[in-house]
Amino acid sequence: MEQVYIGLGSNLAEPVQQLDAALSALAQLPSTRLVATSAYYSSAPLGPSDQPRYTNAAAHLETDLMPHDLLDQLQAIELNQGRQRKAERWGPRTLDLDVLLFGQHILDDERLCVPHYHMHARPFVLLPLAELCPTDFILADGRKLADLLQQCPIDTTLQRLHTPQLCSV
């Protein structure tokens, strides 16, 4: 089974409940096991500032699904929770599920970029991910998670909220 890390985010329609529901849905994916979840974090929106704050987290999965099959499953969860894909990038959304890491795979095509293309500059991605990974964790592209954390821009607006009861493993 591949070790996979998913980034979760929401800033519409009760974001904490959106993440709770998404974690429940992740736990039900075929050929997949939800191993652990990070705490929830509140962050300022990336992009247009006239939108609500985001609630973010990360999840660690083990899966036998292929990368694009997992992506299809994640997009189905997003749609099921009211996600509407719009041309506006970084706009408000009920749910965003991103494949951050997929084992030792490096992918870059029109649908999927793994490791996630911009996670190195997003504290709301790296901090939850770091809760789930060992301190000496090395990404498939050779970067060390500890180095990414150290080099990541400081976000003074990022707030740790709580660890979800639903999927604490």
CA 164 – CA 74 distance, rounded (Å): 20
pLDDT at residue number 169: 43
d(CA 102, CA 81): 23
Q: How confident is the model at residue 168 (pLDDT cuts 50, 70, 90)?
A: very low
- pLDDT of 50 reads 86
48 pLDDT tier (thresholds 50, 70, 90): confident
Active site residues: 83, 93, 96, 98
What number of residues does the chain have? 169
Please compute the mean of the pLDDT values over residues 68-95 and round it to a whole number. 86
Query: What letter does residue 95 receive in the DSSP assignment?
Result: -
Looking at every residue in the chain, the average pLDDT score rounds to 91
Angle made by CA atoms 134, 90, 33, in degrees to the nearest 5: 40
pTM for the structure as a whole = 0.93
Q: Taking the CB of residue 130, how many other CB atoms lie within 10 A of it?
A: 18
Range with top average pLDDT, 42-51, 76-85, 145-154:
145-154
**Domain at 2-162, CATH from 3.20.20.70, 3.30.70.560, 3.40.50.1100, 2.70.70.10:** 3.30.70.560
How far apart CA 60 and CA 3 sit, in angstroms, is 7
Q: How confident is the model at residue 135 (pLDDT cuts 50, 70, 90)?
A: confident
Q: How confident is the model at residue 166 (pLDDT cuts 50, 70, 90)?
A: low
Six token digits for residue 125: 């991605």
Question: What percent of the chain is predicted at pLDDT more than 70?
Answer: 93
Token pair of 131 as six digits: 């809760």
